[in-house]
Amino acid sequence: MGELTEEVIKKYIEAGRIAKEVREYSDKIVKPGEKALNVCLELEGKIISIGGKLAFPCNISINEVAAHFTPSHNDETRIPPDAVVKIDLGVHIDGYIADTAKTIDLSDKHVLLLEASREALEKAVEKLKPGVKAFEIGLVIEQAIKNYGFKPVRNLTGHSIDRYRIHAGLSIPNYGDRFAVFKMIKGMTVAIEPFATNGKGLTREGRITNIYSLAKTNPRKLDQESREVFDYISQEYKTLPFTPRWLVPIFGETTVQHAMRVLIKTKTLYVYPILVEVGKGLVSQFEHTILLTKDGKIVTTA
C-alpha cells in the first residue's frame, strides 16, 4: 500500500474526475441497437482525449452478464431492447486508479433493481472508515439490497487498489461474510461495488474471454513475435488488464492471435472470463473509488 502524499492524492482525484465525466457521458451513447464495441471505443477514446489513461478495458455487461465483458475488435454484439447495461470504467494517472461503474435501464422497468445497488453503495460509503471491518461493510450492502427484495451477488466483491494494481489483494464482500475480518486503515484506496440481482446471487464463468493481464514478468519459451507483443504489453500496461483489440492496430490480427495463444499456453497471462449470473437473473452494479486519508475519506469518482 503506497503512501497517500498530497501529490498522489491529486493524481487519484484527477483520475476520479475523468472517470466520473466519462461514466456520466455513457448515458448519451448506450442505446438499443448500438454496437457494444462502438460504445466501448467511444468511452475509452473519451478517457484518453480528456487526459486519462486506460486502467482496464471498458466493460459493457448486459442483462445476466454481471462483469468482464468487453468486445473483441470485430465483435458484432448489439445492445438489445429493454436491456440492463452495466458500464464499468477504469482510469489512471501515473498508475493511480479510479474504478467506477453505473447501470443503465433502457426499459425503465427495473428501477428498484438499480436503486438496490445504488443505495447499497451509498450506505457502504457512509460506513467506510478506518477501523471498520470488511464484513461490516458487506453486511450493510447485503441489508440494503435485500430491503428491495433482491439478492447481493455473493462471489463478486469490492477490492483494494494500489498503484498499477486494480485488485491489490484485499476483497470487500457484498454480504456479511464473517471471515472478512480485516479492518479498513488510513492510507487505503478501495473500490466498493455492490451487485444486485433478481437471480440466485452467484456468478459462473462464461465462455468468452477478452480481458487479460500479465502473470509473469519474464516468461521463457516465447518466439520472436510473441516476445514483441509481450514486451509491448509489459511496457504499456504493466500489471493492468488489457484487451487484445488494443493490440490489433499495432501488430495486426494474425500476429495478435498467435501471440495470445502462446502467452496463454505458457501461463504468462491471467484470464478474466465473463461472469454470468447462474440463474440468468438481471444484474445491476454501481461503484465508487474511495481514499481513506488522514483527514477522512475522499470519494474520487463522485
pLDDT bin (cut points 50, 70, 90) of residue 185 is: very high
- In 3D space, the residue among 238, 242, 240 whose CA is nearest the CA of residue 217 turns out to be 238
Which of the residues 88, 136, 162, 177 is marked catalytic? 88
Which of the residues 99, 136, 142, 162 is marked catalytic? 99
pLDDT at 23: 98
Domains observed in the chain: 6-205+275-299 (3.90.230.10), 206-274 (1.10.10.10)
pLDDT at 295: 87
Catalytic, 193? Answer yes
pLDDT at 269: 98
- Say which residues have a Cβ less than 8 Å from residue 286's Cβ, sequence separation at least 6: 101, 102, 103, 114, 117, 118, 120, 121, 193, 194
- In 3D space, the residue among 224, 208, 234 whose CA is nearest the CA of residue 66 turns out to be 208
Whether 2 has a pLDDT exceeding 90, the answer reads no
Catalytic, 258? Answer no
Catalytic, 115? Answer no
pLDDT at 231: 97
Which of the residues 162, 167, 177, 277 is marked catalytic? 167
Residue 158 CB burial class (10 angstroms; 0-12, 13-18, ≥19)? buried
Catalytic, 225? Answer no
Going across the sheet that includes 296-299, the strands are 171-172, 158-160, 189-192, 288-293, 296-299
Sign of CA dihedral 135, 140, 144, 146: positive
Q: How many Cβ atoms from other residues are within 10 Å of residue 5's Cβ?
A: 9
Which of the residues 159, 162, 177, 288 is marked catalytic? 159
Predicted TM-score (pTM) of this structure: 0.96
Query: Kindly report the CA angle at 39 between 36 and 43, in degrees rounded to 5?
Result: 145
CB 114 within 8 A of CB 105: yes
- pLDDT, tens digit (0-9, with 9 covering 90-100), for 68-107: 999 999 999 999 999 999 999 999 999 999 999 999 999 9
CB 164 within 8 A of CB 130: no
Catalytic, 34? Answer no
Catalytic, 24? Answer no
- pLDDT, tens digit (0-9, with 9 covering 90-100), for 105-122: 999 999 999 999 999 999
Residue 203 CB burial class (10 angstroms; 0-12, 13-18, ≥19)? buried
Cα distance between residue 28 and residue 31, in whole Å: 8
Which of the residues 64, 119, 193, 277 is marked catalytic? 193
- pLDDT, tens digit (0-9, with 9 covering 90-100), for 199-242: 999 999 999 999 999 999 989 889 999 999 999 999 999 999 99
